[in-house]
Amino acid sequence: MAEWQEPAAAPALPGADENWAGELEAMMQFADGGIVSKTLVKRGKLVNISLFMMATGQTMSSHAASRPATIHVLGGEGKITIGDQTHESKRGTFFYMPAGQPHALESTDNMVFLLYLLG
């Protein structure tokens, strides 16, 4: 089981006033038995957008973010538990969590999602 920590900024992130564009599918990669995350945009506490790739069978234990967050599933399948409710996740599902809301994730088929941490 992998422990989740708020992603650190990658060195090549655009500046606060710069645009960002990228081909997400080309950025997707899976670690054998692991979780890969890539920070796409980081604007201090205003917004942090990261691409996550969870290999089949990987889990993130229950944790809570210090600010509101959303998860937008781009591919694969899994289960996302928010509070005491577990939801099936697949391409196109979207979740919102207020700050401090416990949540956990499980990938049942190479789950890919965008995580937005909001200010």
Task: Report if pTM > 0.85.
Answer: no
Tokens of 9: 């900024």
Domain count, the chain: 1
106 is a domain residue: yes
Residue 3 pLDDT level (bands cut at 50, 70, 90): low
Q: Give which of 105, 92, 87, 83 is closest to 37, Cα–Cα.
A: 105
Specify if 91 maps to a domain.
Answer: yes
Q: What is the CATH number of the domain that holds 108?
A: 2.60.120.10
Q: For residue 17, what are its two tokens?
A: 């006033």
Q: Please name which of 54, 53, 69 lies closest in space to residue 6, comparing C-alpha atoms.
A: 69
CA separation for the pair 83, 102 (Å, rounded): 5
Q: What is the pLDDT of residues 22-62, one digit of tens each?
A: 889 889 999 888 899 999 988 877 889 999 999 999 999 99
The pLDDT score that the predictor gives to residue 47 is 87
